[in-house]
Structures are given as structure tokens and as C-alpha cells.
Amino acid sequence: MKIHEYQARELLASYGLPVDKAYICRNVEDAVRAYQELDVPLVVVKAQVHTGGRGKAGGVKLAKDEIELRQHVANILWMDIKGFIVDRVLIGKAVSIASEYYVSYVIDRKSKSTVLMLSREGGMDIEEVARNTPEKIHKIAIDPLVGVPDYLAREAAFKLFDDIKLVRETATIFQKLYKLFVDTDASLAEINPLVLTDEGRIKAIDAKITFDDNALYRHPKIAALFEPTEEEKKEQNAKSKGFSYVHLGGEIGCMVNGAGLAMATMDMIKLYGGEPANFLDIGGSSNPTKVIEAMKLLLSDKNVKVVLINIFGGITRCDDVARGLLEAFSQIKTNIPIVIRLTGTNEKEGRALLEGTKFHLAETMGEAGKKAVELAK
Amino acid sequence: MSILIDKNTRLIVQGITGRDGGFHTSKMKAYGTNVVGGTSPGKGGENVEGIPVFNTVREAVIETEANTSVIFVPAPFAKDAMMEAADAGVKLIVCITEGVPTLDVVEAYRYINLKGAKLIGPNCPGLISPDKSSVGIMPTVIFKQGSTGVISRSGTLTYEVVYNLTTKGLGQSTAVGVGGDPIVGLYYQELLEMFQNDPETDSIALIGEIGGDAEERAAKYISEHVTKPVAVFIAGQQAPPGKQMGHAGAIISSGLGTAAEKIAAFEAVGVPVAKEPSQIPELLKSRL
């Protein structure tokens, strides 16, 4: 789950990390009041949206007086950045930067641990740095049973600074940020850039924190910050019914049991020249209620011309699945052609039950894919 | 032979009195798996289908000499269950539970390593050595004893591939579902090594999906260390970036972890990649 920069800054501040005070504003007049409160010569106006690349999109501007501030705020509010509409801006003191650094904790699949990532190339797109100059990124795996002891924090800080005073200050920052990461079950806690100001102070200028969805149950305050997009609302609604759903935009609706098989089904539709409408994993079992709910979800997508149901009967036997499908479709009224591919335990009995019905039956995934693509044309 | 589990497996079920734990215990037992006990704190002394229930894993291990554990407890308790098994001396810990917080897995994994044990999962269907032992929730009827090793990040997609293998005459030595989370225990490299060293395995099917770069690393490992034929299928070519495709680990983030990159990595080292799961048996047969 993502949160906004200003929310991440508040979280950093609550862990004693060096963040300047900033205001969040939803209109020009609020922004002017914030500007007056700040009472500094130069302020920064930053769009608050759940996506990167705000600067390049024109969503981050400096203002040296009230006239400029009004202009920038008016321009940035309601701007569309990669499909996200800006409904609030952050107003903060502009900092004179001597040098910029990159700091993050992230879950690393390879070492199966949290990794502290550091670079002297701060303020840039870190993925670009990783691609072009990987030697400029330092990675330190953290032992979860130990955390970040002083020596390790110091060793890490020496990667960024040579001056021992700055090293000590930064080492503390690394330890506090790790505490935040673990306390909140983050999957990424990134400060980019961490800067050394002209006055010799260390500050976090921008922050990005994402959280592990599986752990939100134990962080109700963080979960409350969730601001789903329209698409995410649909996905969340599906999740509450025990489905995983992702909208894709094609014409062939898919209903599959299991995530891997659901992905493979989408791929196969594409392989045979069709366009999948969605990813939909209805989970292990496939009882009639679930099938009805899943069909409602698929049919709410007006682009769907054909529905492909691909069920592998494992623990649930194919004949039970077939009975469930028949029961479900006795309650669903639709003229959309349905292709069913049923394989696994008791598949012959299952298919026999579906013979002679309006369903288009297929034995293999390939056959089902071809049939669905044909019917969509 | 087979890898990880066989007739010497002595299994305990953590969460044996729960709905899923109970259901799959009877399935595993019916298949011939040596289920020697189960745990459920507060229910020690009871039994499930004649299998003794203990309050603690330590007690279960002392009483039954269990060497393997399968975990069915709810996600908030999974970390504790994994650590309890490791502390009690269980050598192979298989966690079926879905939705375990990532940092819980990171911590449990580290602890399990310290104790010299191995972890499979979480969020996995478990593993099976056909006709010897089944640990987890795989539908045993589709498996057949044979010589193909199977490694997969998925559940039903594994069954799809196994079903194709079985119907085309390729039985399995062991099939392992490693799990769909970003952080799980044993993965491609360790399992490829085990299958390479297993005299009864003559070929390997690897079923990957989008997210992370484990497939790329597996491709490199195969090119350097694996002499047995390997065939691969990668799910998620149509997955949009930034979206989680059911499994917590199946996500293309910052343009990394795409199916195209993974397929290219295998093809670059001469490992054939199936266009659909049903092609895997012929890809293996042509190389045997």
C-alpha cells in the first residue's frame, strides 16, 4: 500500500528523523496562509500523488513570492500526473542543497532480508543509477535477529560521508529509519534525497514509504491512509469476496482457480490472438456462490464478449465443479458465450454433466483459448 | 530416490485441529504419508483420526521423532509456528499458510537457517514424492511415480503441468511448490541442485512467473551446474506493470521481473521455454 509524501514525512518526523515542517493545502488560499506561516524567502510547491516522476511532469515548483506561489498552486492543483489527479499540494521551505544522497530500506528477494541501500547519487531516479552505474549503489543486508547496531550504521554512513560528525548523525538516521521500517511492516522506506544543506545540516527532503499489504491487519492507523483509485476499489471489492482481480481491458473475460493458472490463461488467450479482459483468480474451491459473484464481476465489464472458465479440479473434483457451474448458471441470465475447460480429478464425469448444455466445452487450455478467441471475433 | 521427503518422512501437522489442518491430514494419511502427530496448544492428549495431538512441537518431536512439519495455522501465528518447529529440531518445515507478513517470513527464515533446518513456503501447496509421501495440499491423484523433478511458484498451474506430464507418461520424482510470496524458503537454486544430485531424477520442469529475478538467477545456475534436461514455463506475459497478480510476489515493479526478461534469460542459455504448459512434456522428452 502506498501513502503520500506528506504522510511519509509525518511518519519520519514521528521517529525523530530530520524533516522540515510543511503544510498540506487543497486550495490556493490555504497555500497562501501556509506561505505566510512559513515566513521564508523561497518555498517549494509539490503535487501529492501516488506516483513518481512528479518533477518531470511539472508537479514540483519553487516560488519566491506570493504571486508565484498562487500561480504554481493554481497550475499544479487538478493537474493529471500519469492518470492521478492532484487534489492537494505540499508547501514547504526550500532548502539550499550542498549535496544529495539516496537512502532506503527495502525487502530483497535474493538475500531474503531487509537491505539498506545507499548512494552518493541522491535526488536521481535510483533505478537509472542501478542500471547505468551499479557500482555507485551500496547494499547492506540486515540480520533481522540483530537489526542495525551502531557499528553497522556507522559503516554504512561512511559510504556517504567522510566527516565523522556527519557520519555519526547519519548513522542515527539509519537506525531510526530501520525502526520505522520494522515497526510499520514497510516494504520500502526511502529518503531520496537525503541532503547536506549549505548550512551543514542533514535533512530528509523527499520520502516514499510503501507497506506490506499482508501486515496491514496489525497497523489499523496506516491501513486508514489507504486511498484507492477506482480500479483499486474494484480490486478491493473482489478481494473481500475471496477473489484476486486485475482489469486488463480486452474482450475475453477469464475465471480461473489459482493465480498461476490464471496468468497462464491470459497468456494463452494472447498467444491465440485474443485480448484478455482481466485476471481473475477465484481461489481453490469453486462453489456456486463464488461462480455467481465472479460472473457478476466479469459481466460488469462492458467490453467482455466471451467468458472463459478454466478450472483445474484438484482436491475439488471436476464433477462437483460442473454441478456448481450448472447451479450457478441457472441463476445467471446472459447471452455472452461461455467456454468451459475442466481438467483434473474426475474430469470425464464433469464434462459429461456439461454435455448438451449451452456451454462451449474444451478439453485442453489451448483448445479453450482458440475457441474463446474465435467467439470474440 | 526423491528429494526432501520419502518413506522415511515422519510428519507432524501444526494446526491439526483446524478445518484445513484436519482435512488435509486425512488426505495425507490416506495417501500413505507417515503422519506421526499434530500440535494444537491446549488440545494435547486428544487425537485426530487416531493421530496424537500435542501441546508443543517439542513434545511432539520427543514423542514421535518427527523430522518434518507442515503448518496450517492462520497467518498472524505462522511466524511463531515456523520458529517453534525449528527450535524443536524439525529439519524440514513446510508452511502452507497464505498472507504471512513479509518481515515475519524474513525473521523466521533467518532463525530456521540458524537452527540448520529448511523451509518451504509460505503460501505454497507443499511437496510430494509420488507413492512415498505427500506433505501439503496437492491433489495426489494426478501424480505418478517417475523421474521428472518439478519446481514451481504456483499451485494449480503446477497441477496443470503435472497432469500433462502424467498423461504423457512422464512420472515425477518429487514436485515442490516453493510458494508465491516475495520471500519464501527453498527456491530454484537449492532445488535444482538437489534434483541434479538425485540419481532417480532424469529431467526437471521449472514453472516460474513474473516478479523478482529468481528465474534469471536460475537460468545462470542451470547453465553452470545442471546437466539434466530442463524445460520451463513462465506465467504472466500479459501482466500489467505494478499490479499484483494474485500471488504477493507476482508483480512487475519498476519494469523489473517481466516474463519477457525471464524467458530471454532461459533461452540465452539454451533452456527451452514452453509457449503453453502442455508443451513441457514434449520439450523434456526430446531431450531425454
Cβ–Cβ < 8 Å for A270, B238 = yes
Q: How many residues does chain A have?
A: 377
Which of B99, B104, B183 is closest, CB to CB, to A109?
B183
Task: Kindly tell me if the per-residue pLDDT of A374 is higher than 90.
Answer: yes
- Please list every residue in chain A whose beta carbon sits closer than 8 Å to the beta carbon of residue B152: 260
Task: Work out the pLDDT band at A286, boundaries 50, 70, 90.
Answer: low
Interface test with B, best of A114, A261, A270, A317 (most B CBs within 10 A): A261
- Looking up cell 455467481 gives A292
User: pLDDT band at residue A284, thresholds of 50, 70 and 90?
Assistant: low
pLDDT greater than 70 at residue A285: no
- Burial class (CB within 10 angstroms; exposed 0-12, middle 13-18, buried 19+) of A333: exposed
* A92 strand-pairing partners: A22, A44
Long-range CB contacts (< 8 A, 24+ apart) of B282-288? Answer: B282/B168, B283/B231, B284/B148, B284/B165, B284/B170, B284/B203, B284/B205, B284/B229, B284/B231, B285/B168, B285/B170, B287/B203, B287/B229, B287/B231, B288/B202, B288/B203, B288/B229
Across A85-94, A111-120, B237-246, least confident range: B237-246
d(CA B251, CA B246): 9
Cβ–Cβ of A214/B99 closer than 8 Å? yes
A146 near B CB under 8 A = no
d(CA A86, CA A53): 13
CB pair distance less than 8 Å for A268 and B276: yes
Side by side, the strands of the sheet bearing A306-313 are A244-247, A278-281, A252-256, A306-313, A338-344, A360-362
Which residue of B lies nearest to A186 if distances are taken between CA atoms? Answer: B103
Average pLDDT over residues A268-289: 86
With a cut of 50, which residues of chain B have pLDDT below it?
Answer: none
Is B48 within 8 Å of B25 (Cβ atoms)?
A: yes
ipTM metric: 0.92
Mutation target to probe the A interface, by most A beta carbons within 10 A, among B102, B118, B128 is B102
**In contact, B162 and B175? CB cutoff 8 Å:** yes
CA of A33 to nearest chain B CA: how many angstroms apart?
37
Binary contact (B157, A127; C-beta < 8 A): no
| pLDDT of A250 strictly over 90 | yes
Beta carbons of B163 and A344 less than 8 Å apart: yes
pLDDT at residue A117 in the model: 96
Distances (CA, A) of B165 to A165, B105, B131, B139, B155: 64, 32, 16, 14, 15
Across A80-89, A236-245, A320-329, which has the greatest mean pLDDT?
A80-89
Domains assigned to chain B: 11-120 (3.40.50.720), 139-285 (3.40.50.261)
Mean pLDDT confidence for A294-306: 90
- Give the residue on A whose Cα is nearest the Cα of B208: A260
On the CB side of B275, how many CA atoms lie within 13 Å of its CA?
7
> Each residue of A155-179: pLDDT tens digit?
999 999 999 999 999 999 999 999 9
Question: Residue B282's Cα: distance from chain center in Å?
Answer: 24
